[in-house]
A and B are shown apart, each in its own frame.
Chain A
Amino acid sequence: MSHIEKDEVGAKLGMWLFLFTELLLFGGLFILYAVYLARYPGQFSTGGRQLDLVFGATNTVVLLTSSLLAAMAVTAIKRGARRATLALLSGTLACAGIFLAIKYLEWSAKIRHGIFPDSPRLIAGPPGESVFFGLYYLTTGLHGIHVVIGAALIGWIVAGVKSGAIHAGDNVSLENVTLYWHLVDLVWIFIFPLYYLIL
């Protein structure tokens, strides 16, 4: 047990407050999506049907699995299972890598077909489709940046567990980073049906 006084509840409370600002950030993008969907329902449908359901569904499963591994890592560290913690966090990182690789394939296929912000094809097309793909790139791009940041933070936590700074008695930083990781998963839980399914 650490003899330095640490306020774990305060640390987690701060993390949750930060997560709420993230919620409102993505919430704003979902509001934009909903307003434009109401304005251009037909053109949003045409746009949405061009997205690849297999890529979207696979990434959903990958992120849910990564979240499970991250949550298990918290259980492992609290039980003092250091090696299990490291293995589980590595699994989370592997899932983050798979997610980004799939995202890369998905985006590059779209860009090859001339679908990217300000592309001649979208400018010539109907306005609703161009708005749809603009929001698609903005929302999934911002989400992708969160995946990269989350993965970097998990890497930092892995280093902390390896060095012994994070252990059964002091692991609130691991908990807070996994909270961030779950937020990334939560946002995707809404992106998936809105962009890939309902249109």
Chain B
Amino acid sequence: MTNDTTAHIVSYGKLTAVWTALLVLTAATVLVTRVDLGAAKVWAALAIACLKSGLVIAFFMHMKYETRLFRAILFVALVTLATFIGFTFFDVLYR
């Protein structure tokens, strides 16, 4: 029974596809930041970084195949971090 949640094996093919996507996204982030977009390039680069992290967490780290408990604690950690960032900027920007 304990093996059920860990029994899912991700194929080499799928992992390689994820790696290819990560390399394409890396190239995209380099290209998009070479263009003079002002503040938009910061958001574009961060959005691509979040997308890459999502791929790493979901497939390389098997989060897609874990139980709901794992996703719940990941969510709590990300919300905590977002709260820190959000409240810091409330302070810094409107002081």
Contacts and interface: CB of A to CB of B under 8 A. Distances in A.
Interface of A: 6-9, 12-13, 16-17, 20, 23-24, 27-28, 30-31, 34-35, 38-39, 53, 57, 60-61, 64-65, 67-68, 70-72, 74-75, 78-79, 172, 175, 178-179, 182, 185-186, 189-190, 192-194, 197-198
Interface SS of chain B? helix
Contacts of B2: 6-9
B30 A53 contact: yes
Given A172-B6, A193-B49, A197-B45, A34 B85 contact: yes
A24 B83 CA distance: 11
A25 to B, nearest CB: 11
14 contacts: A9-B2, A13-B73, A24-B81, A24-B84, A31-B88, A178-B60, A185-B60, A186-B57, A189-B49, A189-B56, A192-B26, A193-B49, A197-B29, A197-B41
B22 A193 contact: no
A75 B56 CA distance: 15
B32 to A, nearest CB: 9
Contact of A182 (B12, B46, B60): B60
B23 A17 contact: no
A24 B80 contact: yes
Given A27-B81, A34-B85, 20 more contacts: A7-B2, A8-B3, A20-B73, A20-B77, A24-B80, A28-B84, A30-B85, A35-B88, A57-B30, A61-B26, A64-B23, A68-B60, A72-B12, A172-B6, A175-B62, A178-B60, A192-B29, A193-B49, A197-B33, A198-B41
B93 to A, nearest CB: 7
B77 A9 contact: no
Contact of A23 (B29, B30, B62, B81): B81
Contacts of A30: 85
B9 to A, nearest CB: 5
B33 to A, nearest CB: 4
A186 B84 contact: no
B12 A189 contact: no
Contact of A72 (B5, B15, B45, B93): B15
A75 B3 contact: no
A65 B29 CA distance: 17
A8 B6 CA distance: 8
Interface string B3-36: 1011001111001101100110010011001000
Contacts of B12: 72, 75
